[in-house]
Structure 1
Amino acid sequence: MITIKSQREVELMKVSGSIVAAVLDMIGEEVREGMTTLELDTMAEACIRDHGAVPSFLHYRPKGDLSVKPYPATLCVSINEEVVHGVPSKKRIVKEGDIVSVDCGAYKGGYHGDSARTYIIGDVPSEVRKLVTVTKECLERGIAQAVAGNRLHDISAAVEEHARSNGFSVIENMVGHGIGSELHEEPAVPNYGRKNTGVKLREGMALAIEPMIAMGRSRNAVSKNGEWVAVTEDGNPSAHFEHTIIVRKDRAEIMTLS
C-alpha cells in the first residue's frame, strides 16, 4: 500500500534526511586514496549516532526473508564495478582512479532518510567522469518529474532517456522505492519505463529515487560470490545517486539536500 505522508511526518523525515546529508557531506570531505571502506563506515555511524539517530542499514534484511543475513554495516560503499551494497571492510582500500558510491540511511523519530552519492578519487578517465556527471543529472531529471498528477514511470522514463542518450546503460533489476516509517515501502521506482504509465503521483508521496547507471552493456547487477555486493555483468564501472523526496504540486521537495 502506498501511503501519503502528513506534514508532521514530512517534518520528521526532514530531520532524518538532514542527518543523511550531513554524513554524505562529511564523507565527501574525508574520502581519499589509502582509506579503508571500514574507516568511512565507522565515521558515518559515529556521525549518525551523534545526531541521536540510528543507521537504517545496520542489521537490515528484507521483511520475512530469514534466508538473508542481516546487513552488517552502516554504509553501502560500492567501488567501480560494484553497483550497490558494497560491504565496508578493513581490507578494501580506496585507490587513485576509483569512483566510490556511498549509500546511507538514518532513522530518527520513527522515519527514515536515504541518499547516495558517487565520489571521484583523483584522476579518472574522461568517460568515467562523464558517467558520474550523467548519473547525477539522471537523478535531477527524475526528480523533476516527481510532481502531483504525473505518473510514476514519468520519473523512470526521464532517467532512462538521459542515460541512454549519453551512451550508458541502466541497471534494471535495482530500483528506488517508497520510504517513510519503513526503509522500503511501496511503490518500487524503476529507472526505466514508458511515460504516462504507472500509478498517478499524489502530493505527499515519499519516494527514494536512485539511478544506478553503468558504462558498457550491463542491464543487471549480479551477486558477487553470493554476498550482499552486486556488480555489473561486464565488469564496467557504475555510478549511483539518490535523494529522498516528497511529491508536491509544482516541484518535488527534497529531504536529503546538504
Structure 2
Amino acid sequence: MVKRRWHCKPGVQPTEFDKKIMHLENQGVLVPTRQLVKTPEQIEGIRRSGVVNTGVLDLIEKEIHEGMSTLEIDKLCREYCEAHGAIPACLNYEGFPMSVCTSINEVVCHGIPKATDILEEGDIINVDFTTILDGYYADASRMFIIGETTPEKKQLVEVTKECLEIGMEAAKPWGFVGEIGKAIEKHAKKYHYGVVRDLCGHGVGLKFHEEPEVCHFAQKHPGMLLVPGMVFTIEPMINMGTWEVFVDADDPYGWEVITEDEKPSAQWEHTLLMTEHGVEILSH
C-alpha cells in the first residue's frame, strides 16, 4: 500500500479541499501533510508571535548605530522578547549561544553576537530573530546600512529585498514552491549576483523548521504544492559574487557562514501565510 501524505480520519467525509489535494497527490504531485496546513487557532497563535517578532526588529531599526556592538543588539532583542512574554528561539538552539543572528558584510547568516564586533560606517548587517510565543514560532530578518555605504553594497541590499518581494509574488495558492526560487534567481542574475544554495527558507509555526524547504534558486523539480493554511519563510541570501559559502573555521560553535570569495552578502526574510489569494505577511 502506498503511504499517502494527505489523508482523512476514518469515518470522516473528505471536504472539497481534501478531494482537491488527494486528486493532485494521485497524479504524482508532492503535497503537504495535513499537519503543515495550520488550523485557524494555530494561525492566530503564529500571528501573535509574529507581532512580537516584528516588534523586535522595529526596535533594532530605531536603535542600531555606528559604534554599537552586536552583543548590544542581542541584549536589546532578548529583553524586548522576554518583556512581551516570549522566548528567543535561537538561544541554545543546537548549540547556538545567543538570542539573535547578526551577520555583517561577508557573513551570510548565523553571525554570532560579540562584544568585539563593533558596527562601523559603511557596514551592512542582517539581524535575524525568531520568537516563540505560547509555543508558536515566527521568524524574520532585515538588513541595516550603517551610515553611508558604497553604491555597490547599497544596491545589493536593495536588490535582495526585491528578490524577497518577487519570491512572494511567485508564491501562489495551488502553485508550487519551486516557482519561488525560479523567480528569485532570475532577478538576481540580472545583477550577476550569486544566490546561496546551501541554505533555504522553510516551513515554520509549530516548530522552528518544518517542511517545505524553500530554495531560492531554480531547480528541475517543481517542489511541494502550496495550499492555503501553510506557513513558511522566504529568505533569499544574495551574494555580490559567487553563490558558494563556507563555515568559518575560527567559529568555535560551527555556525557562522561566510561567502567563499569574502564579498558582501545580504538577506531579507518574512514569515508568510498562504491564503486563497496569495501570501499574507505574519512577521517582517
> What TM-score range do you get, normalising by the shorter chain?
over 0.9
Tell me how far apart the structure 2 counterparts of residues 49 and 104 of structure 1 sit (CA, whole Å): 13
Aligned residue pairs, count: 248
Tell me how far apart the structure 1 counterparts of residues 184 and 141 of structure 2 sit (CA, whole Å): 16
Aligned position for 1:203? 228
Tell me how far apart the structure 2 counterparts of residues 208 and 39 of structure 1 sit (CA, whole Å): 26
Cα offset, 1:250, TM superposition: 1.4
Is it true that 1:250 corresponds to 2:277 in the alignment? yes
Aligned position for 1:220? 244
Aligned position for 2:177? 152
Is it true that 1:230 corresponds to 2:257 in the alignment? yes
User: Which of these residues, 25, 31, 36, is aligned with residue 58 of structure 2?
Assistant: 25
| 1:39-58 matched pairs, under 5 angstroms | 39-58=72-91
Amino acid at match of 1:8: E
Instruction: Give the TM-score normalised by the residue count of structure 1.
Output: 0.93
Choose 1 or 2 for highest CA Rg. Answer: 2
Higher relative contact order (CA 8 A, sep 6+): 1
User: Which of these residues, 48, 57, 72, is aligned with residue 15 of structure 1?
Assistant: 48
Tell me how far apart the structure 2 counterparts of residues 130 and 14 of structure 1 sit (CA, whole Å): 31
Cα offset, 1:147, TM superposition: 2.1
Tell me how far apart the structure 2 counterparts of residues 22 and 114 of structure 1 sit (CA, whole Å): 12
* Stretches of structure 1 lacking an aligned partner (at least 5 in a row): 62-69
Cα offset, 1:167, TM superposition: 2.1
- C-alpha contact (below 8 Å) 1:151/1:196 kept by paired residues: no
Cα offset, 1:37, TM superposition: 0.2
What does the per-residue CA deviation read over 1:204-245, in whole Å, with 9 as the maximum and x for residues that have no partner?
11111100001012x232100153110000000000100000
Tell me how far apart the structure 2 counterparts of residues 85 and 193 of structure 1 sit (CA, whole Å): 24
Amino acid at match of 2:256: V
User: Which of these residues, 124, 127, 150, is aligned with residue 149 of structure 2?
Assistant: 124
Find runs of 4+ consecutive structure 1 residues off by over 6 angstroms: none
Say if 1:121 and 1:41 are closer, same or farther in 2 by CA, change over 3 A.
same
Secondary structure of 1:78's aligned partner: strand
Tell me how far apart the structure 1 counterparts of residues 152 and 163 of structure 2 sit (CA, whole Å): 16
Aligned position for 1:4? 37
Tell me how far apart the structure 1 counterparts of residues 221 and 197 of structure 2 sit (CA, whole Å): 19
Cα offset, 1:180, TM superposition: 1.4
Amino acid at match of 1:232: T
Tell me how far apart the structure 1 counterparts of residues 266 and 137 of structure 2 sit (CA, whole Å): 23
Secondary structure of 1:255's aligned partner: strand
| 1:35-74 matched pairs, under 5 angstroms | 35-61=68-94, 70-74=95-99
Aligned position for 1:241? 268
Secondary structure of 1:93's aligned partner: coil
* Stretches of structure 2 lacking an aligned partner (at least 5 in a row): 1-31
Aligned position for 1:109? 134
- C-alpha contact (below 8 Å) 1:151/1:195 kept by paired residues: no
Cα offset, 1:195, TM superposition: 8.2
What does the per-residue CA deviation read over 1:171-218, in whole Å, with 9 as the maximum and x for residues that have no partner?
11110111011100111111101487111111111111100001012x
Tell me how large the CA RMSD over aligned residues is. 1.3
What does the per-residue CA deviation read over 1:102-133, in whole Å, with 9 as the maximum and x for residues that have no partner?
00000012110000011001111111101000
Worse overlay, 191-200 or 246-255: 191-200
What does the per-residue CA deviation read over 1:67-123, in whole Å, with 9 as the maximum and x for residues that have no partner?
xxx111111000000000000010111111100100000001211000001100111
Cα offset, 1:164, TM superposition: 1.0
Amino acid at match of 2:72: E
